[in-house]
């Protein structure tokens, strides 16, 4: 019997300006897979199994019959990524802020979990969290 391949996730996000979005996420330390990057899309590599497809809005629209949410005005999703430590959470959010993001709310410390978030250039919400233990 063959072992199943690990499941991968591709988060698709509409962006106004692909080059600005790529520069923003490159400033956070992410790279892009050139095989899936062109003038309409960029494949941001988060890990071996997590990818974020940054798609210019007209290209994104081809994949849905619904309107595209204005992430500056409404929350369409909050994407949460794990971090190895509280220090790593702060470092990532601080990089995002330095690259032009905003911080919609202060850090939250739940004892077992520490998290901070940022809103990227297109208004998408990101949370960075470190889990140290379990909820009590």
Task: Tell me the CATH number at 100.
Answer: 3.10.180.10
Average pLDDT of 77-103?
Answer: 97
Report the side by side order of strands in the sheet with 31-33.
9-15, 50-56, 41-45, 31-33
Q: Measure the CA–CA gap between 104 and 1, rounded to whole angstroms.
A: 49
| pLDDT, mean over the chain | 95
Which residues span the domain enclosing 50? 9-131
0.85 surpassed by pTM: yes
Selected residue with higher pLDDT from 90 and 5: 90
Asked whether residue 3 is assigned to any structural domain, the reply reads no
Tell me if 2 is assigned to some domain: no
SS3 state of residue 108 = strand
Give residue 114's pLDDT band: very low, low, confident or very high (50, 70, 90): very high
Task: Work out how many domains the chain is built from and give that number.
Answer: 1
Domain annotation covers residue 48 = yes
Task: Assess if residue 1 is contained within a domain.
Answer: no
Judged on CB neighbours under 10 Å (0-12, 13-18, 19+), 9 is exposed
More confident residue, 122 or 1: 122
Share of the chain above pLDDT 90, in %: 91
Are 126 and 96 in contact by the 8 Å Cβ rule? The answer is yes
Per the DSSP assignment, residues forming a β-bridge with 102 are 119
Residue (of 26, 39, 10, 17) closest to 121 by Cα position: 17
């Amino acid at each position: 019997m063959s072992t199943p391949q690990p499941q991968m996730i591709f988060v698709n996000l509409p962006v106004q300006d692909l080059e600005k979005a790529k520069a923003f996420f490159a400033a956070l330390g992410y790279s892009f897979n050139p095989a899936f990057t062109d003038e309409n899309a960029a494949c941001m590599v988060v890990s071996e199994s997590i990818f974020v497809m940054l798609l210019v809005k007209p290209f994104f629209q081809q994949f849905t019959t619904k309107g595209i949410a204005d992430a500056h005005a409404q929350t369409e999703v909050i994407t949460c990524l794990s971090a190895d430590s509280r220090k790593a959470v702060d470092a990532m959010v601080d990089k995002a802020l330095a690259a032009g993001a905003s911080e919609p709310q202060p850090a939250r410390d739940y004892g077992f979990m520490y998290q901070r978030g940022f809103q990227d250039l297109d208004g998408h919400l990101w949370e960075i969290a470190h889990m140290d233990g379990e909820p009590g």
